[in-house]
């Protein structure tokens, strides 16, 4: 009997979640809108980019609107976990640690952690910088995989320090100001930052290759329908079409 009551309460909880969403019809998407071409401020200062347009396409298919909330990347997972936001689409890498905290949709893009250095740098890897100077100063965006990996590989190993900035643009400004020796960040934003600023280049060696997915709370009432609709838009080429409009073929 107790089991049945518990099940009934759980069912009511789930159904009421659906009802609330359906009534208000808007899904809140949290992200850090400083990560072109995945999220950035476009025409009329409206947030746009690969993640936002894919999320909007999925939402439109399901009859929802999307409200983009611009927060620090470090707050995205806690914000989703606590139910403050419906989901996060933030060029977010799927990792085992994050899977403990949130559930991920199917992956819709590949990311590469790249290394940005001053254009006149003679180094071809971070290890060469360590070798030449005894240590290295690395700039990253706080709580990203670039932060985690370089912390493990360099800071924890006593080979250097990791300076954590609230967004990628700030890390790149620190590189330009000479405060760090390199910046580790996802490849497409890296290309954007290098194009927007003089005197920078990206090293040929990829630091890590990863998958991007959107993150939902483990008890999210809309995860299943959202992921199913996303899977359809991946299968019918809509998602690739969106990616192609933001990343022109080289």
Binding stretches for ligand ARG (CB under 6 A): 31-32, 35, 38-39, 73, 90-93, 111, 141, 144-145, 186
Dist. CA 70–CA 73, nearest whole Å: 9
Q: How far is the CB of 168 from ligand ARG (least distance, A)?
A: 6
Dist. CA 246–CA 243, nearest whole Å: 5
* C-beta of 21 vs 88, nearer to ligand ARG: 88
Q: How far is the CB of 131 from ligand ARG (least distance, A)?
A: 27
Q: How far is the CB of 228 from ligand ARG (least distance, A)?
A: 23
Q: How far is the CB of 15 from ligand ARG (least distance, A)?
A: 33
Q: How far is the CB of 158 from ligand ARG (least distance, A)?
A: 24
| Three-state secondary structure call for residue 118 | strand
* C-beta of 144 vs 227, nearer to ligand ARG: 144
| Three-state secondary structure call for residue 149 | helix
Q: 45 burial class (0-12, 13-18, 19+ CB within 10 angstroms)?
A: exposed
* C-beta of 33 vs 230, nearer to ligand ARG: 33
Upper half-sphere CA count for residue 176 (Cβ side, 13 Å): 13
Q: What share of the chain is helix, strand, coil (3-state, %, to 5)?
A: 45, 25, 30
Dist. CA 231–CA 208, nearest whole Å: 25
Instruction: Report strand pairing: 215-216 vs 87-88.
Output: antiparallel
Q: How far is the CB of 60 from ligand ARG (least distance, A)?
A: 22
The residues, any chain, with a CB within 8 Å of residue 12's CB and separated by 6 or more, are none
* C-beta of 32 vs 150, nearer to ligand ARG: 32
Instruction: Report strand pairing: 26-31 vs 87-88.
Output: parallel
Dist. CA 222–CA 17, nearest whole Å: 8
Dist. CA 122–CA 31, nearest whole Å: 35
* C-beta of 32 vs 48, nearer to ligand ARG: 32
Q: How far is the CB of 14 from ligand ARG (least distance, A)?
A: 29
* C-beta of 123 vs 149, nearer to ligand ARG: 149
* C-beta of 88 vs 220, nearer to ligand ARG: 88
């Amino acid at each position: 009997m107790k089991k049945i009551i518990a099940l009934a309460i759980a069912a009511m909880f789930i159904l009421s979640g659906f009802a609330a969403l359906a009534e208000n019809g808007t899904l809140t998407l949290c992200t850090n809108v400083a990560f072109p071409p995945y999220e950035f401020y476009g025409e009329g200062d409206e947030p746009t980019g690969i993640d936002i347009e894919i999320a909007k396409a999925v939402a439109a298919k399901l009859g929802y609107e999307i409200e983009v909330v611009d927060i620090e990347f470090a707050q995205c997972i806690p914000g989703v976990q606590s139910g403050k936001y419906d989901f996060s689409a933030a060029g977010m890498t799927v990792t085992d640690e994050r899977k403990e905290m949130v559930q991920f949709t199917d992956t819709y893009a590949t990311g590469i952690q790249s290394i940005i250095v001053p254009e006149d740098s003679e180094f071809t890897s971070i290890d060469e910088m360590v070798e030449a100077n005894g240590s290295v100063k690395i700039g990253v965006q706080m709580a990203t995989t670039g932060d985690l990996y370089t912390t493990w590989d360099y800071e924890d190993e006593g080979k250097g320090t990791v300076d954590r900035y609230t967004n990628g643009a700030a890390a790149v400004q620190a590189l330009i100001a000479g405060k760090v020796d390199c910046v580790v960040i996802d490849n497409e934003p890296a290309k954007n930052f290098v194009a927007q600023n003089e005197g920078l280049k990206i090293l040929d060696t990829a630091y890590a290759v990863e998958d991007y997915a959107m993150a939902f709370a483990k008890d999210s009432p809309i995860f299943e329908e959202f992921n199913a609709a996303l899977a359809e838009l991946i299968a019918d080429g809509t998602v690739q079409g969106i990616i192609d409009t933001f990343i022109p073929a080289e």
